[in-house]
Structure 1
Amino acid sequence: MAQATTIGVVVGSIRPDSINRKLALALGALAPEGWTLEHIRIDDLPLYNQDDDKNPAASVKRLKADIARADGILIVTPEYNRSIPGVLKNAIDHASRPYGQSAWAGKPAGVIGTSGGAIGTALAQQHLRNVMAYLDMPTMGQPEAFVQFKEGLFDDKGRIANDATKQFLQKWMDSYVAWVQRHTEQAAEKVAYV
């Protein structure tokens, strides 16, 4: 029997009716058996202030603990002004500090998002990949998924309604699963070798 895998999901929008939250939930339905996608809360974090590094808020401690428990990270984000939302950057900064104590380091990651624009969230994803590279998060490069949101993307139960889109996203999820498995196995081999 395969070992259970927990993926921490960070949605870059804090709107309850966010289309990216809906996409994250729909992706959860495409995950294989034994995989759990747990949403990580970011809406209650204070604005990052380096002076708070020595005494972080309870919400920041919870954020870092949730990330630490995850086998991988999936970020599902909208694009704001050709970049990532401030609330997402704030969460990234909190969990990466203080210097040398980043919760993100080594976590295999995937990036995806949806928006109404023709190029989906391409620029936000590229900016996010730059940040994740600095944070030492091995991030899946291919396939990329820039999902253009249109009415009817989700059915009334929150599943992907269009068969072609569902097949595309299933392939993306399968690739992400393989990515996390490969990096988890490599990390286990390193530990066993040491």
Structure 2
Amino acid sequence: MAQGVRIAVVVGSNRKGSINQTYARALERLAGEGMVFDYLPVGALPLYNMDLEEEAPTVLADIKARIQAADGVLFVSPEHNRSVTALMKNTLDWCSRGSGGNVWAGKRAAVCGASPGTRGADLSQMHFRQIAVVLNLEVLPQPEVYVHVKEGLFTEAGDFASERDGGFQKRFLDRFADWVVRA
């Protein structure tokens, strides 16, 4: 795997105790020094409104600059009503508009998600991929990563409890890092 690949991370849930925040942190520990995760403060963005573009929130410039500086973007998100979360859609919209233009264009990314539901956020990822095409965001085609969260998936420390799960997630991260550096 490439060393020190800079990854901007968008977590599509900002609730306390977020499963996907736990999942993202487990991925970060699993990646070790091979990837440097930068968690973007997307919860600070107001609900997108074109009227706000002229005087965009200051956090937007920071988020866009961090995306541009990153080698790739990792989207980690649950599913809400068989679609992307409102937070995820809001982030996609803000970062594709206004000052600085569409920072997603040509950026390599991966999407994954965790859910207590047996489908593990698969439908939200399918919808995410449809949106990504319009934004010219290049999403890693394989593997598709849908995590069914059940008791025992994570240790008390928040790592993957089984070698099987950890191994799969590590292969996903390695593939993503290699794909990003080949851009």
- The TM tier, using the shorter chain, reads over 0.9
Report the Cα distance in structure 1 between the residues aligned to 2:156 and 2:100, rounded to whole angstroms.
45
User: Percent identity of the aligned residues?
Assistant: 41
Query: 1:44-90, CA deviations, whole angstroms, 9 ceiling, x for partnerless residues?
Result: 11111112222201122222122112110000000000001101111
1:146 is the counterpart of 2:175: no
Q: Secondary structure at the match of 1:166?
A: helix
What is aligned with 2:38?
A: 38
Equivalent-residue separation in structure 1 for 2:51 and 2:28 (angstroms): 37
Structure 2, unaligned stretches of length 5 or more?
none
Query: Gaps (5+ residues) in structure 1?
Result: 184-194
Q: Are residues 160 and 3 of structure 1, via their aligned partners in 2, closer, same or farther at CA, if it must alter by over 3 Å?
A: closer
What's 1:48 paired with? 48
Asked if 1:134 corresponds to 2:115, the answer is no
**Cross-structure match for 2:93:** 93
Stretch deviating more after TM superposition (111-120 or 34-43): 34-43
Deviation by residue 1:114-158 (Cα, 9 ceiling, x = unmatched): 101111111000110111111111110111111100111111111
Shift of 1:20: 0.5
SS in 1 for 2:94: helix
The aligned counterpart of 2:27 is: 27
CA distance, structure 2, for counterparts of residue 3 and residue 22 of structure 1: 23
* Deviation, structure 1 residue 21: 0.5
CA contact (8 A) 2:5 2:177 kept: no
SS of 1:106's equivalent in the other structure is coil
TM-aligned CA deviation for residue 34 of structure 1: 4.3
Aligned-residue offset at 1:3: 6.1
CA separation of 1:3 and 1:162: change in aligned 2, threshold 3 A? closer
TM-score by length of 1: 0.89
Q: Determine the C-alpha separation between the residues in 1 that align with 2:10 and 2:127.
A: 16
2:180 counterpart residue number: 180
Give the TM-score normalised by structure 2.
Answer: 0.94
99 and 40 in structure 1: CA distance in 2 versus 1, 3 angstrom threshold: closer
User: What residue is the counterpart of 1:171 in the other structure?
Assistant: 171
Q: Does 1:122 align with 2:133?
A: no
Which protein has the larger Cα radius of gyration, Structure 1 or Structure 2? 1
What secondary structure does 1:96 align onto?
Answer: coil
Count of residues paired in the alignment: 182
Give the secondary structure class of the aligned counterpart of 1:160: coil
Q: Which stretch shifts more, 75-84 or 173-182?
A: 173-182
Q: Deviations over 1:147-172 (max 9, x none)?
A: 10011111111111111111111111
- Alpha-carbon distance in 2 for matches of 1:34, 1:160: 18
Deviation at 1:16, TM superposition (A): 2.6
71-80 vs 152-161, which moves further:
152-161
Aligned to 1:187: none
5 Å matches for 1:78-89? 78-89=78-89
Kindly report the root-mean-square deviation, in angstroms, between the aligned alpha carbons of the 2 structures.
1.6
